[in-house]
Structure 1
Amino acid sequence: MCGRFSITTPPEAMRSLFGYVDEPAFPPRYNIAPSQPVPIVIREQDGQGGSRRRFLLVRWGLVPSWAKEMPQSILINARAETIAEKPSFRGAFRHHRALMPADGFYEWKSQGAGPKQPFFIRRRDRKPFAMAAVWDIWMPAGGSELDSCAIVTTEANETLKAVHHRMPVILDEKDWDLWLDPGATEKELLALLRPAPDNLMEAIPVSTRINRVANDDPSLQERALAEAEPERAPRPKKRAEDTRQMGLF
């Protein structure tokens, strides 16, 4: 899965790479977590018979358009193997595909009884990339509409298998237009949902500071080994509830 990622490329450089018409100003983020606003790039009609790419801020955690209420679990990832059939994702897969800009993501590796070792995974050439994503528009009863998204994941390549068995689908730049093309066939789209080449990415061990959502600074991406969490003092035993009238005061 992919549960955290980063975007630190300057906005103008991101705009130039992804070719959207908007001029958003967003700060560098080193620890983006589920339910937070994230940027995606979509394709829309320009009103003159053509189309253009647009920048859109959405909630990370898909809420399908047909949902009657907010799902209890956050749908942050959509498995490539079942995305065309799963009710939560198939509509978005057919009609609302997007590029999710990133310059790295995080995964955690189990280490026996010790703390999990987090890894920052980036391109070897340090360039930003696009993760395949789907998005949807939800209109709750009596509320304003919510745009939300999920990252498409696939099995890990040989480079990342030692860390985690899943990874985001990282689209080759030559395939961005096809992924966004409303006329693309299901067969064409599913063919794009494959692991990245083994030599594209590298995994850097980083500090367990990444575990805290409040931590959001460049040091999170520095090489470090996992450190044990400090022991917390035991909580005091809870007193039995006093049911007498005076026990309420």
Structure 2
Amino acid sequence: MCGRYAITLPPEAMRASFGYREQPNFPPRYNIAPTQPVPVIRPHGSARQFLLMRWGFIPGWVRDAKDFPLVINIRGESAAEKPSFRNALARRRCLMPADAFYEWRRSGTGKQARNDAFLFRRPDRGFFAFAALWETWSAPDGSEIDTVAMLTGPASGPMAAIHHRAPIILAAHDHDAWLDPGATPQQTRRLIEPPPDDLLEIVAIGPAINKVANDGPELQEPASAAAPAEPARKVAKHPEDDPQGSLF
């Protein structure tokens, strides 16, 4: 599960890393949250295209978005069978670039329960890409919104000690295979795997990440021994995962 992430490196570096033609200029974001516009990379002809989409997948058949739950994560192991996602898995695969993401570990019970925040990033601080699906949703007024959500799978290794789900992070040499419009879900199934145990480092951070309004480099500073933990909050259930909606 992934409910917050970051893109802090320069736009030029991301363009060089992912090879799209557009030249967007965007500020560093340390606390990207659901429903916000997020960078997405998808195939466009024989090239790659950069564009912004709403983080929160809405299937095309939904008539009123208020009647559909917020989907920020899609279970990779069942996406091919779910009516909401199987067409997007077959035809609308994309990348969500990032250089960090966050997760919370819940511990204790009752008044002693707490949520501790953790930062996940590559040791070299470089970019990586979440495997994602997108869809264009048509509102009742005729307007269209491009929406997106990342795939997740069972967590393994050190990540499993923080949360039972993990985002699917594609190796750079698998980006073309994931974006290939001619590839079938059966052919891309091998790519839907949790990241290797040694891909990311894990850093305990403070509770400031819990507030969407906080968006600066201090969010990624390691937590001190004296930093107060965030009191645990009730986590809303979700049909695809628990998106930790109470933290947004």
Scaled to the shorter chain, the TM-score interval is: 0.7 to 0.9
1:227: which partner in 2?
228
Q: Could you tell me whether the CA contact under 8 Å between 2:135 and 2:146 is conserved in 1?
A: yes
Quick one: which of 56, 65, 68 aligns to 2:63? 68
Q: Could you tell me whether the CA contact under 8 Å between 2:115 and 2:230 is conserved in 1?
A: no
Higher-Rg structure is 1
1:152: which partner in 2?
151
1:241: which partner in 2?
none
Amino acid at match of 1:44: H
1:175: which partner in 2?
174
Distance 1:229 1:159 in 2: 22
RMSD (Å) for aligned C-alpha atoms: 1.3
2:241: which partner in 1?
none
1:107: which partner in 2?
103
Structure 2 unpaired stretches of 5+: 232-248
2:200: which partner in 1?
201
**TM-score, L = length of structure 1:** 0.87
Q: Could you tell me whether the CA contact under 8 Å between 1:157 and 1:195 is conserved in 2?
A: yes
Q: Structure 1: which 4+ aligned runs deviate by more than 3 Å?
A: none
Distance 2:42 2:25 in 1: 17
Amino acid at match of 2:36: Q
1:138 aligns to 2:131 (yes or no): no
Distance 2:213 2:68 in 1: 23
Q: Could you tell me whether the CA contact under 8 Å between 2:206 and 2:223 is conserved in 1?
A: yes
Distance 2:201 2:156 in 1: 11
* Number of residue-to-residue matches in the alignment: 225
- The superposition leaves residues 32-62 of structure 1 with CA deviations (integer Å, 9 ceiling, x where unpaired) of 00000000100012xxxxx110001000000
Structure 1 stretch displaced more, 220-229 or 68-77: 220-229
2:162: which partner in 1?
163
Cα offset for 1:13? 0.6
Distance 2:159 2:185 in 1: 27
Cα offset for 1:228? 4.2
2:88: which partner in 1?
92
Structure 1 unpaired stretches of 5+: 46-50, 231-249
- Flag the 1:160–1:13 CA change in 2: closer, same or farther, 3 A: same
Where do 1:41-56 residues align within 5 Å? 41-45=41-45, 51-56=46-51
Cα offset for 1:185? 2.1
